[in-house]
Structure 1
Amino acid sequence: MQSESTGLHKGLNAFHLWGIAVGLVISGEYFGWSYGWASAGTLGFLVTTTFIAAMYVAFIFSFTELTTAIPQAGGPFAYSRRAFGPIGGCIAGYATLIEFVFAPPAIALAIGAYLNVQFPGLDPKHAALGAYLIFMTLNIVGVQIAATFELFVTILAVAELLVFMGVVAPAFSFSNFAAHGWAGESTFSLAAIGGMFAAIPFAIWFFLAIEGVAMAAEEAKDPKRTIPIAYITGVLTLTVLAFGVMIFAGGSGDWRTLSNLNDPLPQAMKTVVGESSGWLHMLVWLGLFGLVASFHGIIMGYSRQIFALGRAGYLPGFLAKVHPRFQTPHVATVAGGLVGIAAIYSDNLIEIAGQSLTASIVTMAVFGALVMYGMSMAALFKLRRSEPDLARPYRAPFFPVAPAFALAMAGICFIALVVFNPMIFAIFLAVMVVAVAASHFLAKPVETAPAATLDPVI
């Protein structure tokens, strides 16, 4: 029997889920990716992004099989635990938790920085705190309200990116895009290869967190039908937008002036239409919607992951409490928010390997994502062998080639990230080892997931 304390409200349709899938990621189309140009140049970064986009398409088409077969709020945690037992579940669960808890502070600070430009007297950290308080509250008062808001801001953010491409398109020149396109040089070289590997995290930023839809699976109407629609249309939407903004921005002028900025799109548009254009003011103001969509969506994701780990006994059980009126994981929402707020007020006070805390926690989030991707694809292969009769409403196309490609690419990206970020990797590894060891020796699993989708430990 499903306990009253752990039952989530089922109110999300395919359109809501598409909004979550795209909204989780879409801030990555607005900022962050252009740092990849500084490492790889436009042409080198285009190659890197092509491989990363292929990885994500293969991953999502394969990951959807797991999400529809085991539609639980734990997402990758549930799949890996079913495939590999408690230790496998811990590794995937905590890696996902690191990804989703550490990404929001960076986005919140970007929101604060944007508001500070418009209102210079407003402290960016206080604005980031305000963003946390507002969107944690919105997530708590009801999943359908939260998802409807997410859908609204996501549609606005997508529309704005299309407007950006349309406005700068007349000024596009391939010669601008290709100039100095190989790690700042005009010709391909070994340095360009190193730059392409160094740029991997920034290409991942185009797509990071799309897998968070899996954590809303228990709240979806007819998940076997709606989740595949949302995932596939979502990853295709993001792929088109990623290449569109990158190519049009790079070809609008001298891309080197945009490669170390947090606002490459407004700056690219400024070179085309001038500082006084209404198009530019629209982009600057509505650009906030892209940040809000991702921030709000990732709060939804981390709260479900904390909830699932608490429900399974791998985190304290009180984190699995559901609000008696709104049927949302309110304690988990607040707990993850407290970690993010602490990170916000530690920014500029702590540096890791010469990087700000914000940059370091973004890299930590990417480490968590890559571990989760690898564990999920390994779980897909394992469950195909160990549970051939498991109901699979959606089966991964091009199996085993697509998931094998996604798994191999995740491994390559992980190695590259370790090479270029050894100190942050050491911290990530230490956190994972401590978390998994503590869960193994101290946790007392008390799974109360819906019986129809209960994932037995193998």
Structure 2
Amino acid sequence: MPGDEGQLKRRLKLRHVVFIGLAYMSPFAVFDTFGIVSRSTDGHVPASYIIVTIAILFTAFSYGKMVKLFPVAGSAYTYTRRTIGSGLGFLVGWAALLDYLFLPMINALLAKIYLSAEFPSVPGWAWIVGLLVVITVLNIVGVKITATANVLMVLYQLVIAIVFVVLTIRVITADNAAQFSLGPFYSMDMQTGSLFAGASVLALAFLGFDAVTTLAEETIEPKKNMPKAIFLIALLGAGFFTAVTYFMQTLFPDVSALSAITHDIAAASPHIALYIGGIVFQTIFLSGAFISVLSSGLASQTSASRLLYAMGRDGILFKKFFGYIQPRFGTPLLNIVVIGIVALTALFLDLNTATSLINFGAFTAFAFVNLSVVAYYLRQHGFRIVRSAVGWLIVPLIGFIINVYLWYSLDMVAMIVGLSWTAIGFLYLLYITKFFTAPAPQVAFEEAE
């Protein structure tokens, strides 16, 4: 039909959206933080996954409602702007920008952790700088990783993760000292505060589960299928992460057991791979880890540079710099370089602090998605309690409270950096709105897609 020209076509079924969402949640994310969370929770990583899953499910419920109302890109930024206010929406988007800016840093740090386990004689900084140079150059020249390649890389990681679990179970059953129990989920001496601190780090594994909301215009029956997809992605991801860490924690129930195979707890996973499968499997495992950080690093730097470009193009940031496109390659070269430079902070941070920096923006976004549902309800019904109050008021309020508590449990350095970043955003908002006498700027996400 002529009227359909230039519009997105609805071709994605429920299963397509679910797979795309699972692809965003890299299978190898489960290995990235196991060591540090096992230390902080004293051997209760699966229990922390249960806590963060509860928070994610409440938030997924709110995402499902919001995507029905606003089936466009922008996620938490758009929902907050349209239900609460443009100024607050800007600040939520500004805080969430931390995710985009620092995700390449996480991948560089993980590259150092994984590859240093295989090549301990190579300085750690060399892996960080090397990966960032590679992904920066590839992004500048406009490399495109096809959907097929992404699917294959995700499947490769998934197969390795499954083999990892099988080998772990084999060692557990052959080891008289290890036994299956509920210990990883509950023990008399477990501390609630440490479990929430661990959960605040593990949210990294769920980043991107909300990304499928941007596919609403291409999904068949989006009001029916999109909420289902969000819940399925969250549940399947949570089940996978919890199961894998349960077997890992059963084999290595506490930090002392992990310390027996490595002095670097952050790099526990590759050493576990060596312990359960020998040098051959460790090499295969590290190949999957490298593919994970390379593909994720490319994608995250691409996304971050395009977001900065959208903000520059729309005059929110300095247009001549952030809105610049390099004529030969057709890419936002300056933005790509900026993201690469920011990612070099991996040279000075540990994994716990770096992860918390990412999750500062994530928990801010998650909390305000829940709050957006409440704001929409109050706008429609005021303070009258109607039959829909449970789904539109009580459930999102619980989700909001859980996310705020997890946000409060973040690493102190991350809190200082995150709050300072938000304060800068507020001062910048005052400047561009002339002390709120002019409307808050907005990003035209639809144009940036």
The two structures have a TM-score, normalised by structure 2, of: 0.77
**Partner in structure 2 of residue 317 of structure 1:** 319
Q: Is the 8 A contact 2:258 2:268 kept in 1?
A: yes
Map 1:213-252 onto structure 2 (within 5 A). Answer: 213-214=212-213, 217=215, 221-222=218-219, 225=222, 228=227, 231-252=230-251
Q: Is the 8 A contact 1:94 1:435 kept in 2?
A: yes
| Equivalent-residue separation in structure 1 for 2:178 and 2:165 (angstroms) | 16
Aligned with residue 406 of structure 1, among 374, 399, 404 = 399
**Partner in structure 1 of residue 285 of structure 2:** 283
Map 1:153-164 onto structure 2 (within 5 A). Answer: 153-164=153-164
* Counterparts in 2 of 1:21 and 1:187: CA distance versus 1, 3 Å: closer
* Counterparts in 2 of 1:182 and 1:28: CA distance versus 1, 3 Å: closer
| Equivalent-residue separation in structure 1 for 2:204 and 2:120 (angstroms) | 28
| Stretches of structure 2 lacking an aligned partner (at least 5 in a row) | 1-5, 382-387, 434-438
Letter in 2 for 1:411: V
**Cα distance, 1:448 vs. partner?**
7.0
**Partner in structure 2 of residue 30 of structure 1:** 31
Q: CA RMSD in A?
A: 4.2
Q: Is the 8 A contact 2:111 2:127 kept in 1?
A: yes
Percent of paired sites with the same residue:
18
Map 1:160-171 onto structure 2 (within 5 A). Answer: 160-171=160-171
Map 1:351-366 onto structure 2 (within 5 A). Answer: 356=349, 359-366=352-359
The two structures have a TM-score, normalised by structure 1, of: 0.75
**Cα distance, 1:229 vs. partner?**
6.4
Cα deviation per residue 1:381-435 (whole Å; 9 max; x = unaligned)? Answer: 22345479xxxxxx99954454333212102212333xxx445423321221121
SS in 2 for 1:314: coil
**Partner in structure 1 of residue 384 of structure 2:** none
Map 1:254-293 onto structure 2 (within 5 A). Answer: 255-256=254-255, 257-258=257-258, 261-273=265-277, 275-276=278-279, 278-293=280-295
**Cα distance, 1:291 vs. partner?**
2.8
Cα deviation per residue 1:195-238 (whole Å; 9 max; x = unaligned)? Answer: 32332323323323433445x559x7348648556534432332
* Counterparts in 2 of 1:97 and 1:223: CA distance versus 1, 3 Å: farther
**Partner in structure 1 of residue 57 of structure 2:** 57
Bigger radius of gyration, 1 or 2? 2
Aligned residues: 420
SS in 1 for 2:403: helix
Q: Is the 8 A contact 2:274 2:281 kept in 1?
A: no
**Partner in structure 2 of residue 3 of structure 1:** none
| Equivalent-residue separation in structure 1 for 2:356 and 2:440 (angstroms) | 31
Letter in 2 for 1:429: L
SS in 1 for 2:200: helix
**Partner in structure 1 of residue 111 of structure 2:** 111
2:423 matched to 1:433?
yes
**Cα distance, 1:50 vs. partner?**
0.8
Q: Is the 8 A contact 1:100 1:301 kept in 2?
A: yes
* Counterparts in 2 of 1:448 and 1:423: CA distance versus 1, 3 Å: closer
| Equivalent-residue separation in structure 1 for 2:163 and 2:39 (angstroms) | 26
**Partner in structure 2 of residue 41 of structure 1:** 42
| Stretches of structure 1 lacking an aligned partner (at least 5 in a row) | 1-6, 349-355, 389-394, 454-458
* Counterparts in 2 of 1:340 and 1:451: CA distance versus 1, 3 Å: closer
| Equivalent-residue separation in structure 2 for 1:126 and 1:223 (angstroms) | 47
SS in 1 for 2:84: helix
| Equivalent-residue separation in structure 2 for 1:325 and 1:385 (angstroms) | 51
**Partner in structure 2 of residue 449 of structure 1:** 444
2:372 matched to 1:379?
yes
Q: Is the 8 A contact 1:24 1:298 kept in 2?
A: no
Q: Is the 8 A contact 2:53 2:238 kept in 1?
A: yes
Cα deviation per residue 1:323-353 (whole Å; 9 max; x = unaligned)? Answer: 8899876654443333223x13xx24xxxxx
Letter in 2 for 1:30: F
* Counterparts in 2 of 1:210 and 1:138: CA distance versus 1, 3 Å: farther
Letter in 2 for 1:90: F
* Counterparts in 2 of 1:123 and 1:231: CA distance versus 1, 3 Å: farther
| Equivalent-residue separation in structure 2 for 1:161 and 1:205 (angstroms) | 18
* Counterparts in 2 of 1:88 and 1:447: CA distance versus 1, 3 Å: closer
Q: Is the 8 A contact 1:17 1:230 kept in 2?
A: yes
**Partner in structure 1 of residue 172 of structure 2:** 172
Cα deviation per residue 1:34-54 (whole Å; 9 max; x = unaligned)? Answer: 322212233x44332212112
Q: Is the 8 A contact 2:104 2:300 kept in 1?
A: yes
